[in-house]
């Protein structure tokens, strides 16, 4: 009996050693695989192990979305009003739709296996600075000419959303979509007349005459309107230059269309603002053709939009497009606002 117990103990020790050895082997294989993936994607082993620059090369979880093959492209949604917001509410994580889009573009740029971006647009535009950031990121992604950006306008690409769209190599617009609204908006509330009626007095201590431009408690002076108008005109010129460059149009052609009008898809094609009318499958096919492959694997980054955006909006009692009361303070906007 003693001999049998001793044998069982030896067996248990042997099995334990084999188990530990197997676990160690799996860990080594996993580590080796991580390093290999990092080298192939260009992310670097330190990024794969969590020690790389997260903001420069974001480590986002991929989900296979569509198609197949060894050549990869990323589908990135651009939805809602384009402005930075870092507030969070009950049950909602901190969400910044601008940073979300930028992180996805940076992740795609850092991955050498990614040859293209399919940008899916449904937006009326947004803040000038935020739109310009995203446009510049797309241009950086395309730099070198070996990567392609195809834009699919799902329902609307107005104002700042169109400003971003012209950074693409090809634009496809869904037949019922609205395009354009090339212009700039700066709005501010003024309740000086109301404050006089109800006896509210404004006290503003300022260092110079124009430090409180668009102060809502007093009338706007003509000189102040001229100052603000110059800012708006400058942003308008930047918008028109971007459209002319991106669409291969003359400045005079763009200027004739840059009065804030929106266009249906077919008219936008005729005017040169869009390349063709079509659906998502059309945009996917164009991206595949421009990259020059028969098969193209589309991936998307998990947790980059959708649920996070909905929760962040719902927690504040706002609609998913997130108007967020931005009109309460003056903002320079590339925004279609009917």
CATH of domain 63-335: 3.90.226.10
Q: What distance in Å separates the CA atoms of residue 102 and residue 132, rounded to the nearest whole number?
A: 11
pLDDT tens for the chain, 338 residues long, are: 444 445 555 555 555 556 555 555 555 555 555 444 444 444 443 444 455 677 777 778 999 999 999 999 999 999 999 998 765 444 444 558 899 999 999 999 999 999 999 999 999 999 999 999 999 999 999 998 899 999 999 999 999 999 999 999 999 999 999 999 999 988 777 767 777 788 777 777 878 776 777 777 777 788 888 888 899 999 999 999 999 999 999 999 999 999 999 999 999 999 999 999 999 999 999 999 999 999 999 999 986 444 444 444 444 433 444 444 444 456 778 777 65
Q: What distance in Å separates the CA atoms of residue 181 and residue 62, rounded to the nearest whole number?
A: 34
Is residue 116 a contact partner of residue 290, using CB atoms and an 8 Å limit? yes
pLDDT at 141: 97
pLDDT at 3: 47
pLDDT at 209: 77
User: Considering 123, 159, 304, 313, which one is annotated as catalytic?
Assistant: 159
Please give the backbone phi and psi of residue 74, each rounded to the nearest 5 degrees, phi first.
-120, 135
Residue 211 is a catalytic residue: yes
pLDDT at 48: 45
Residue 192 is a catalytic residue: no
How does DSSP classify residue 221? P
User: Considering 61, 112, 143, 211, which one is annotated as catalytic?
Assistant: 211
Where does CATH 3.90.226.10 sit in the chain? 63-335
- The first and second tokens of residue 333, run together, are 């906007």
- The first and second tokens of residue 188, run together, are 């501010």
How does DSSP classify residue 69? S
pLDDT 10s digits, 195-246: 778 877 777 787 877 677 777 777 778 888 888 889 999 999 999 999 999 9
How does DSSP classify residue 61? P
pLDDT 10s digits, 33-57: 544 444 444 444 344 445 567 777 7
DSSP secondary structure string for all residues of 259-321: SS-EEEHHHHHHHTS-SEE--HHHHHHHHHHHHT-S--EEEEETTSSTHHHHHHHHHTT--TT
Count CA atoms within 13 Å of residue 260 on its CB side: 9
Q: What distance in Å separates the CA atoms of residue 21 and residue 18, rounded to the nearest whole number?
A: 5
pLDDT at 193: 73
Is residue 126 a contact partner of residue 135, using CB atoms and an 8 Å limit? no
Q: What distance in Å separates the CA atoms of residue 151 and residue 283, rounded to the nearest whole number?
A: 7
- Count of positions (residues) in the chain: 338
Global pTM reads 0.76
pLDDT at 9: 53
pLDDT at 54: 74
Contacts of 136 (CB under 8 A, 6+ apart): 167
Burial letters 204-225, b for 16+ CB under 10 A, else e: eeeeeeeebbbbbbeeeeeebe
Q: What distance in Å separates the CA atoms of residue 134 and residue 99, rounded to the nearest whole number?
A: 9
pLDDT at 38: 45
Is residue 148 a contact partner of residue 115, using CB atoms and an 8 Å limit? yes
Strands (E), the chain: 62-66, 72-79, 114-123, 125-127, 148-158, 170-173, 178-180, 185-186, 262-264, 276-277, 297-301, 332-335
pLDDT at 8: 54
């Amino acid at each position: 009996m003693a001999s049998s117990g001793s044998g069982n103990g030896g067996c248990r020790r042997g099995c334990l050693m084999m188990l530990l050895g197997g676990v160690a082997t799996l860990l080594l294989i996993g580590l080796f695989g991580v390093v290999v993936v990092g080298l192939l994607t260009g992310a670097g082993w330190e990024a794969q192990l969590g020690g790389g620059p997260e903001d420069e090369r974001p480590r986002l979880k991929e989900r296979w979305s569509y198609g197949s093959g060894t050549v990869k492209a990323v589908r990135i949604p651009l939805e809602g009003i384009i402005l930075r917001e870092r507030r969070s509410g009950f049950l909602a994580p901190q969400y910044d739709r601008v940073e979300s889009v930028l992180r996805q573009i940076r992740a795609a740029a850092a991955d050498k296996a990614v040859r293209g971006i399919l940008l899916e647009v449904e937006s009326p535009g947004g803040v000038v600075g935020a739109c310009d950031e995203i446009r510049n990121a797309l241009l950086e992604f395309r730099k070198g000419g070996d990567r392609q950006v195809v834009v699919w306008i799902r329902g609307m690409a107005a104002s700042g959303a169109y400003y971003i769209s012209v950074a693409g190599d090809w634009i496809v617009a869904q037949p019922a979509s609205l395009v354009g609204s090339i212009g700039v908006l700066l709005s501010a509330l003024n309740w000086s007349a109301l404050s006089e009626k109800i006896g509210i007095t404004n006290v503003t201590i300022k260092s110079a005459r124009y430090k409180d431009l668009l102060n809502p408690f007093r009338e706007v002076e003509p000189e102040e309107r001229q100052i603000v108008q110059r800012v708006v005109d400058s942003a308008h010129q930047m918008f028109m230059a971007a459209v002319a460059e991106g669409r291969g149009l003359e400045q005079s052609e763009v200027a004739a269309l840059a009065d804030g009008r929106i266009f249906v898809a077919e008219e936008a094609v005729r005017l040169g603002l869009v390349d063709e009318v079509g659906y998502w499958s059309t945009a996917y096919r164009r991206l595949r053709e421009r990259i020059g492959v028969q098969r193209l694997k589309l991936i998307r980054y998990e947790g980059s939009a959708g649920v996070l955006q909905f929760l962040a909006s719902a927690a504040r009692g706002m609609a998913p497009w997130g108007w967020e009361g931005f009109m309460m303070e003056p903002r320079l906007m590339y925004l279609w606002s009917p």
